[in-house]
Amino acid sequence: MNQTTLKESLMITGGVGLHSGQPTRVVFYPAEAGEGVVFHRLDQDVKIPATYQYAKSSPLCTTLQKDGVILQTVEHLLSVCSGMGIDNLLVELESEEVPILDGSGYEFFKRFSEVGLRELAAPKQGILVKKPVLYQKGDIEILATPSANPVFSFAIDFAHQQLGQQEYHFQFTEAKYAEEIVRAKTFCLERDVETLQAKGLIKGGSEENAIILGEDGQFKNMEVLTWLNEPNLHKILDQIGDFYLARNLRILGNVHSHKSGHSSHLEFIRLLMEDRQDAWELVEL
């Protein structure tokens, strides 16, 4: 199996940043083997590789930073790259945020599928987990163990009637990603909306691009749901994107997570890649 990129360039317009609320246009270009996923802030003329070395913790999203230039909300796009097996891609923007679009990864997936992928003359690699790796912080836990097939199991626990405690097991294949994960929208508790807006966040959020968990214990905008457990599925979508910061390689193992989020995903990847190099090896797929 070889690395891939897009067959040709494409542009997505009309989107806005989830947190900035600013109009955002993004252009995608094919890239050569070994280049990985790279973002280019045209307005600052800074290229930022989408790897954990350039990632930083930020509220409610995954942020990349280089030379004082930031790029926010990269997780949905990176999730689609991982889910479709796109190894190399140049992403150009003139703003600080990837567009939220419908709150899932579907628009990226749809446009990339229309263009198609091109195989490159270099083998595709993955990170094979050989020993258990455990990250714990309070009641947050991420455990990766060896497995013949990559699996994501995600448990959530929210004080909300429609969510509560639930867990979803996802065997990671490109076909299953397209069927079960890519359409899952982001979500927000209704009671948190004013607080987040007061902090200058979710200015581009709406009932069209986010599932609102109402104060009455119901979904406030149920018409935008694809699945009743969509928030749990979206947590997996986010995690797949955050984990692609590991050199834009898939992690091949059984990953079980409990109540984790963007910051803990990043801390786990740093633990795995830097402190637990004995627990994995690069393999050709």
* Catalytic center residues: 262
Q: How far apart are CA 123 and CA 121, in angstroms?
A: 7
256 annotated ligand-binding residue: no
76 annotated ligand-binding residue: yes
Angle (CA) 186-191-192 rounded to 5° is: 55
Q: How far apart are CA 213 and CA 204, in angstroms?
A: 17
Q: Which residues contact 173 (CB under 8 A, 6 or more apart)?
A: none
Q: What six digits make up the tokens of 103? A: 């709150």
DSSP secondary structure letter of residue 175: H
**Cα of 19 vs its chain's centroid, Å:** 16
- In three state form, how does the secondary structure of 64-121 look? EEECCEEEECCHHHHHHHHHHCCCCEEEEECCCECECCCCCCHHHHHHHHHHCEEEEE
3-class SS of residue 168? strand
> In the chain, which ranges are continuous DSSP H helix?
75-84, 106-115, 174-176, 193-198, 230-243, 262-270
43 annotated ligand-binding residue: no
- In three state form, how does the secondary structure of 14-32 look? EEEECCCCCEEEEEEEECC
For the annotated binding site, the residues are 76, 234, 238
For the annotated binding site for Zn(2+), the residues are 76, 234, 238
